[in-house]
Structure 1
Amino acid sequence: MSTIEGMVVNVVLVHGAFADGSGWRGVYDRLTDRGYRVTIVQNPLTSLEDDVAATRRVLDLQDGPTILVGHSWGGTVITEAGVHDKVAGMVYVAALVPDAGQNSSEQYEGFAATPDFVIDVGADGFGFLNRDAFKKGFAADASDAEVAFMRDTQVPVNMSVFAQTVSQAAWRQKPSWAVFGTEDKAFDQAMLTHMAERAGAAIATVPGSHAVYVTQADAVTDVIVAAAEGASTVGR
């Protein structure tokens, strides 16, 4: 079924850089407990094209209108992939929100630096978050056990992805929501607010780090549910 009492029920979750889909487990459990059908994309993090293709494959599997959710770099991915005809609305979780013709790196221009978010780049051009700075920069509100797991399951990202240009901005066509933490050390707060406001997103903020999709799963779930309900009321 694709609706609960007329509501959009399909949700696709897209992770960001330096991570895999396992971080969505808390949100997955909460959404499925509430009757939603949830699928998690596993991005290869090798190029924007590859990650968008991975997301589209999962969208193709959905049986009806879907809420597409992206964390961090995943926001760039859903901005491109969200024009898919099954996407009824989008949720940006501490996420990049580029416009068509822009790349991810350009979103940082004019905003404060984030010195606690430290990336170590190898000779092959792939980057990991610095192990010593991981907690402070990525997940300061997580337990030591959670931090260790996220740090030790990192997926390296091809750093060239941040210079790859988005050709379509789905938020110009689809209703959008945004949620981010007030203690995010990966992006300047003004940057997060600017991107979400430009997209016309309904914005929620919560106390939390860049890893709010893990550490504030209840709040993130509530925003996704609000998106599902809101997308349903606009005829999707």
Structure 2
Amino acid sequence: MKLRLLGAALTLASAALTGNTAWAQSDAATAPTPVHNIVLIHGLYADGSSWAKVIPLLQAKGFHVTAVQNPTTSLDADVDAVKRALAEQDGPTLLVAHSYGGMVMSQAGDDPKVTGLVYIAARAPDAGEDYPALAHKFPAAPASAGLKWSSDGYGKLSEEAFVKDFGGDLPKSEAEVLYAVQQPMGKAITTAKTTVAAWHDKPTWYAVSTEDRTINPDLERFMAHRMKAHTIEIKSSHLSLVSHPQEVANLILQAAGQQSQ
């Protein structure tokens, strides 16, 4: 017993020194509720197919999985898409989001069916918070320099930024395929603010991408710590769900109340 207490004290001390206090959060704060349904929310510059490697890993464990197709034209439109998916679920549901999808999930996650929230290198703003202002408190991620806008107000990453900064740990050929199906984002998203932060009331999990060049990894750590999320780190680009699907699936399985194998 004394050894266990000493180990816990050393963990807390180490976390305090490194600033990674999210690692010291008690699992009791994020106790999973077993679910049958998992709804996946994609981020910007992508679509539901970005979950293609994670989905079969979850289905193999018996879960009913739905990948939302967000229009990425506005926050409201994306939240509505998630709410439609939630309405189709037959019981308790775990929400999982990547990147900007975390903002959508924070808004839609107050649905009574939702038992928990899993953030994969994702935004997690507080209600009414200016996310760009929060991001500006940290060094800018390189991908932002590659965002290009069309004359009608839709943004896409340049090919170089997509391949190097968005999916930098993927084989170039695979990154190029994902670039080819990149979905433009509506300019309204850049100024949108959530009115709800479901993470205040729901158990949360977070996967930090340590090699992320789209969202600063320290910003990810800050948001995870602020939520008191059960947090892991993956040595990955922003697209950990593509380059490290098993690690991402393992975290989702844990949040779904099933121990990964």
TM-score, scaled to structure 2: 0.84
Match of 1:26 among 41, 46, 53: 53
Whichever residue aligns with residue 27 of structure 1, its letter is: V
Give the Å deviation of 1:161: 0.6
The structure that is helix-richer by fraction is: 2
Match of 2:138 among 96, 108, 111: 111
CA contact (8 A) 1:18 1:154 kept: yes
Give the Å deviation of 1:190: 1.2
Cα distance between partner residues in 1 of 2:143 and 2:39 = 30
Alignment pair present for 1:37 and 2:57:
no
Tell me what 2:223 maps to.
Answer: 195
Find the residue that maps to 2:83 and give its secondary structure. helix
Alignment pair present for 1:123 and 2:151:
yes
Find the residue that maps to 1:185 and give its secondary structure. coil
Find the residue that maps to 1:88 and give its secondary structure. strand
CA contact (8 A) 1:103 1:162 kept: no
CA contact (8 A) 1:101 1:166 kept: yes
- Equivalent residues in 2 for 1:211-222 (5 A)? 211-222=239-250
Cα distance between partner residues in 1 of 2:195 and 2:43 = 19
Q: CA-to-partner distance for each residue in 1:152-196, whole Å, 9 max, x for gaps?
A: 000000122121110000000100000021100011111010011
Cα distance between partner residues in 1 of 2:107 and 2:152 = 26
Tell me what 1:233 maps to.
Answer: none
Cα distance between partner residues in 2 of 1:83 and 1:106 = 24
Alignment pair present for 1:8 and 2:38:
no
Alignment pair present for 1:100 and 2:124:
no
Tell me what 2:163 maps to.
Answer: 135
Give the Å deviation of 1:225: 0.6
Question: Which runs of structure 1 show a deviation greater than 4 angstroms over 4 or more consecutive aligned residues?
Answer: none
Q: What's the RMSD between the two structures over aligned residues?
A: 1.3
List alignment gaps of at least 5 residues for structure 2.
1-32
Pick the structure with greater CA Rg. 2
Percent of aligned positions with the same letter in both sequences?
39
Cα distance between partner residues in 2 of 1:42 and 1:216 = 22
CA contact (8 A) 1:76 1:104 kept: no
CA contact (8 A) 2:75 2:188 kept: no
Give the Å deviation of 1:145: 2.3
Cα distance between partner residues in 2 of 1:166 and 1:7 = 28
Cα distance between partner residues in 2 of 1:86 and 1:103 = 27
Whichever residue aligns with residue 87 of structure 1, its letter is: V
Find the residue that maps to 2:236 and give its secondary structure. coil
Cα distance between partner residues in 2 of 1:214 and 1:90 = 19
CA contact (8 A) 1:72 1:95 kept: yes
Tell me what 2:92 maps to.
Answer: 65
Whichever residue aligns with residue 179 of structure 1, its letter is: A
